[in-house]
Amino acid sequence: MNSKYNLLFDQVTLPNGMILKNKIMMAPMTNWSSNEDGTVSDAELEYYARRSNGASVVVTAVAYVTDNGVGFPGQFSVSNDSFVPGLKKLADTIKKQGAKAVLQIFHAGRLSPPDLVGGDVVSASAIASERPGSPEPRELQDAEIVSIIEDFGEATRRAIEAGFDGVEIHGANGYLIQQFFSPHSNRREDRWGGDVEKRLTFPLAVIDSIQAAVKKYAKGPFIVGYRFSPEEPETPGLTMEDTFVLTDALLEKNLDYLHISLTDFWSKPRRGADDSKTRLEWIAERTGDRIPLVGVGNIHTADEALSALNTSVSMIALGRELIIEPDWVEKIESGNEEHIAVHLTKEDQERLVIPDPLWNMILGVPGWFPVLDSEESK
């Protein structure tokens, strides 16, 4: 291995004492490939087996904790005990390849497709998303909110029983946890809403529920990470100022890492902080060395990863790049980083073990992945 990349392979010690073998995480990515009943499919097991050799942590596609929290077709569930056997196969598959297995968990809230939740789309308030075609959700009642918080704890118990090494709380990308924190989607005036501090009530209660389950059921160190989006485009919407309040609150929660959800690692703030620093640099200034910070977004080559790690983050997460190049880590380790693939061809599906629904989405969404025609790749 070229010694310039040694930093990528430094160990990371999490606050819970667990040691990670390197600074590379596989980011959580939707694959639309679960069975119709919400169980993990064989195609998903093969997909994760192909990608769990190099990274120190593999964060799964997100699982819904409550039946009315489904986010998209072909998603697996952790909403009751019947799903534990399939989830155990997934955890075992990832761990067998040498990575720590982390189950991402969420409730989609107002972003649930109506046809997947019997038309009962719910959120913090009856405010529709500004995404085209979004339905107006029903405002959750107090007892329902308490029940969902408990569901996150129960999902964590199931993750422990299935053999996962941790859970990642999906508080990003506009889903329910973010909906409670956002001034766009949370217009409540009860204990679950109000000013920025009061809008933190639900996210922090979810963390408490999860950590209580870990304390009760885990027999050793168990990872609890939290992923969040630092800004929203809507007005009113989350700004960097809001995110600083969130970050300060999360620092008090004894979490094991914070994962900042970005399309571009180097993106600059829109509102709430000036653009003299990237969003990640602003957050890192807030966190210091108190908690591992994970950055993600448009990192493909070994040199891009090294540049990212030479900022203030503890780890980087690779998403699309580990679909394109499952052997990314191994190629750097063996001194073959110049052979890392950074694009797909239309003949790559079988070789890269990509399930049909994910492959169809890759080909069907122009610009999402760099896909070359066969002639271009020669």
pLDDT band at 376 (very low <50, low <70, confident <90, very high): low
- Percentage of the chain modeled with pLDDT above 90: 98
Give the β-pairing of 12-13 and 19-20.
antiparallel
80-83 CB contacts, 8 Å cutoff, 24+ apart: 81/158, 83/38, 83/39, 83/158
| 337 φψ region: left (φ > 0), alpha (ψ -120 to 50), beta (else) | alpha
pLDDT of residue 301: 98
pLDDT of residue 106: 99
User: Closest Cα to residue 249, out of 297, 212, 198?
Assistant: 198
Average pLDDT over residues 266-289: 97
Average pLDDT over residues 61-69: 98
pLDDT of residue 375: 53
H runs (alpha helix) in 252-341: 279-287, 302-309, 320-324, 328-333
Cis before 85? omega within 30: no
pLDDT of residue 312: 87
pLDDT of residue 308: 97
Residues 333-353: tens digit of each pLDDT: 999 999 999 999 999 999 999
Residues 302-311: tens digit of each pLDDT: 999 999 999 9
Helices (H) and strands (E) in the chain, counts: 13, 15
Residues 130-176: tens digit of each pLDDT: 999 999 999 999 999 999 999 999 999 999 999 999 999 999 999 99
Mean pLDDT computed over every residue of the chain: 97
Average pLDDT over residues 97-110: 98
Question: 3-342: CATH homologous superfamily?
Answer: Aldolase class I (3.20.20.70)
> In the chain, where are the structural domains located?
3-342
Task: Give Cβ neighbours of residue 174 (< 8 Å, ≥ 6 apart).
Answer: 111, 129, 131, 182, 229, 232
**pLDDT at 90 > cutoff 80:** yes
Integer Cα distance of 15 and 75 in angstroms:
31
SS3 for 376? helix
Residues 211-262: tens digit of each pLDDT: 999 999 999 999 999 999 999 999 999 999 999 999 999 999 999 999 999 9
pLDDT of residue 373: 82
SS3 for 259? strand
Residues 171-204: tens digit of each pLDDT: 999 999 999 999 999 999 999 999 999 999 999 9
Query: Which position has the token pair 């075609």?
Result: 133
pLDDT of residue 151: 99
User: Closest Cα to residue 196, out of 207, 185, 208, 182?
Assistant: 182
Residues 28-50: tens digit of each pLDDT: 999 999 999 999 999 999 999 99
pLDDT of residue 377: 53
Phi, psi (deg, nearest 5) at residue 224: -130, 110
